[in-house]
Amino acid sequence: MITVPLEKQSPKNYPIESVTLDVQGMKCAGCVNAVERQISQCPGVVSATVNLVTSIALVEYEKEKVLPEKLAQKLTMGGFPSSLRVGEETKDWSVINQRKREEEQKAQFYQLISAIILLLFSTIGHLHHLGFHYLHYFSNIWFHWGLATLALLIPGREILLNGWQSLWHRQPNMNSLIGIGTVSAYLASCVALVFPELGWECFFDEPVMLLGFIFLGRVLEGKARNKTSSALEELLSLRPQWARVVGKEGINQDQGLPIPSGLVKPSEWVKVLPGEQFPVDGKVVMGQTTVDESTLTGESIPVFKSEGSLICAGTINETGLVIVETVSSGAKTILSQIIATVEEAQTRKAPIQNLADTVSGYFAYGIMTIALGTFFFWYGWGTSIWSSVLVDLDTSSLILSLKLAIDVLVIACPCALGLATPTAILVGTGVGAQEGLLIKGGDVLEQAQNLDIIVFDKTGTLTQGYPQVTDILPWEETKFSPAQLLQIAASLEINSNHPLAQGLLQESKKLDLSLLKTSSLVNGMGKGVKGDVFQESAMLGTFYCGNELWLKEQNILLSPKIIEQSLKFQTDGKTVIYLAQENNVIALFALGDKLRPFARETVTKLKDKGLEVILLSGDQENVAKAIALQLEITQYYGGIQSPQKAQIIRNIKNKYPHKVIAMVGDGINDAPAMIESDFAIAMAQGVQIAVKTASIVLTRGNLMDILSAIDLSEKTLAKIKQNLFWALSYNLITIPIAAGILLPKYHFLLNPATAGGFMAISSIVVVTNSLQLKNWKISNKY
């Protein structure tokens, strides 16, 4: 069972968790609606989202009030066999996928054989009309009765039982419609057989052919549906199943013990041979190699790795034997988190699906009402008004009315309506993941094309996020050399993960400077640090390292000369960090950060699309201005701290209440603003909270992928609209035809089997149209 704690509470302060259920037996949008309704009726359930294509239900519930096992039991009793999804660490995906494929192939083979047998024997009974008199045994009415009886009891049994269960629970679905149609035709034919004096027509071959076409359609639809989830299956296949764990002594002689990769513990060492996939996230402790990281980054050029380099599970070791110390394994690896996110995204609905859900909730009832109305109209008035129809068709009023009602039941297609949105979302999110776009749901995919304003953080987003020290400027004839000043600053910043702090630390490493002992460290988040610095046992003094705001908070004032020098650095796009001792500034450090590749092109193309682009930065305003000028961004904010970023987003939303605002960031200080925005985009190398907050994660770190996300959103939404248009148009056109609208003038009558064939084709068209999204490639456009 997978239970995911969520960072929210129910109205009565019960903790909220989520559980994933595997649900079988869903055939149409009506089934989805029925499953969601059954789950939502349980006290303590907060929300339920069901996906028809993946057969998954994602349920949020109050932990103290709901047992997930009971939810599965209720669905099973309601006609939808369900089970809790097992935890990631205990899964053997190769076995599970193989078993799933075998079960699907077995079911499809059974349906195909059933379809062939039913269609073959129902057709043979009519061949005597073509002169094949030696087949007269197959034209015997009792043969047709036996064939229809066996067809309903054996291959049609599942359809009838599921349809009856759904009716019993007042949640009719497609199987209910098919069941009513086939049983009605069968019973009417039985009455005609037992009471020939009534003059009714026996049409046992109609329910047989109808079931044959239904099974054939489901085989074709199933094959098409399987293709929609192939992108996710390809991701799943990247997850290594086994890891070769070795001891930390005698490694050269230790071949390693193969164990499931999900069972490897943190800090254990894993041997990976050339050509193998890395089974865990970790760092190289022995050896060096080149690694193919294209599965995660999309970059085809191998990356060199040596001791200390980080490794991700699923990437491929190309050239050398290496030993990796495990950091994360199983469900905690980056690859597993990507897969989990894609799975969840394919469950989350797009808002446009509400239309399909609303219609499908009443669809079966509406169709049964129309079928009943069709029967009574033709039986009461139609055959009297157009009596010539009975003569031309050589049938009775009752049988004709019954056939038309059955046509209505079986030609209606809730499947197409139910598949319209989830198949497109399934393909869109899967293809996006393959192309470096981790899109967290159908709602996200739909909204991306509606963006009006996009706000960028600077450091790590528009720039590479690796500021490098360009200038060290001693001040006021300090007694410390430039190297000593850098040594002091780096010693103070040792515990900070801020990009500027990391820039100081990297420069000290380049110069091979040892870090000094510090104490009484006080960290001002995103602003600077204060502490006592010691050299050997002697205290050098109390130092302050940070930005201008940090110094002001410490009552350290900048002289006009310092301000003038800082402005010169900032005008060049460099960020200034100050080092002060007691109350005096003793050094200025200037750090420069390069623009990300394609940053300028991305901003230009976003503006060409009509989006307003805004820059936010915690850097000094002049630095933000310099970067904004390089990128031709007219609206920018500098010197903005984390809470202020969120406030600026709120201000923009208040000013433009009807516009959709996106925030692009990568750091902890960006998370509040990302949460406040309508739409959040994170760089994959950003901190975890930013990635978790985001609606879209750019796994390749390529800014141009923002444009690709908008493009994919437009393409997917277009497919959804096409699917819904087809599904609604199909039903609006075919149901009146099935009800006999063409009968009076053209004497055109569908038989139930043909109606069933049209119904199957409708679903196949929707799925096939969604599959066209697989032709979308980022490289084709950007």
| Token representation of residue 150 | 């066996």
CA gap 417, 299 in Å, rounded = 39
Element (H, E) at 661: strand 661-665
| Token representation of residue 520 | 């009484």
Element (H, E) at 259: strand 257-260
State the chain's maximal CA–CA distance in angstroms.
Answer: 121
Q: Is 534 left (phi over 0), alpha (psi -120 to 50) or beta?
A: beta
CA gap 330, 282 in Å, rounded = 12
**Length reported for the chain:** 782
CA gap 237, 323 in Å, rounded = 23
Three-class DSSP category at 329: coil
Asked if residue 418 lies in contact with residue 221, where contact means CB atoms within 8 angstroms, the answer is: no
Decide if 457 is catalytic: yes
Three-class DSSP category at 309: coil
Asked if residue 585 lies in contact with residue 566, where contact means CB atoms within 8 angstroms, the answer is: no
Cα–Cα distances in angstroms (integers) from residue 392 to residues 202, 377, 383, 400, 754, in the given order? 17, 19, 12, 12, 20
Count of other CB atoms within 10 angstroms of residue 488: 28
305 phi and psi angles, rounded to 5 deg: -130, 135
CA gap 216, 226 in Å, rounded = 16
511 phi and psi angles, rounded to 5 deg: -90, 5
Count of other CB atoms within 10 angstroms of residue 654: 8
User: Across the strands, what pairs with 579?
Assistant: 545, 587
Torsion of CA 679, 684, 688, 690, to 10 degrees: -30
Q: CB-based contacts of 540: which residues, under 8 Å, 6+ apart? A: 488, 516, 533, 534
Q: Between 353-377 and 414-434, two packed helices, what is the crossing angle to 10 degrees?
A: 160
Cα–Cα distances in angstroms (integers) from residue 146 to residues 143, 204, 290, 663, in the given order? 5, 9, 68, 67
Cα–Cα distances in angstroms (integers) from residue 546 to residues 61, 459, 485, 656, in the given order? 46, 16, 13, 35
Question: What is the amino acid identity at position 398?
Answer: L
Pairing state between β 242-246 and 257-260 = antiparallel
Q: CB-based contacts of 106: which residues, under 8 Å, 6+ apart? A: none
Three-class DSSP category at 373: helix
Question: What is the amino acid identity at position 681?
Answer: I
Count of other CB atoms within 10 angstroms of residue 142: 10
Three-class DSSP category at 282: strand
Question: What is the amino acid identity at position 462?
Answer: L
Catalytic residue among 205, 457, 705, 711: 457
| Token representation of residue 557 | 């004032």
Nearest Cα to Cα of residue 179 among 727, 738, 752: 752
Burial class (CB in 10 A: 0-12, 13-18, 19+), 478: middle
DSSP state of 303: E
CA gap 475, 715 in Å, rounded = 58
Q: Which of the residues are catalytic?
A: 457
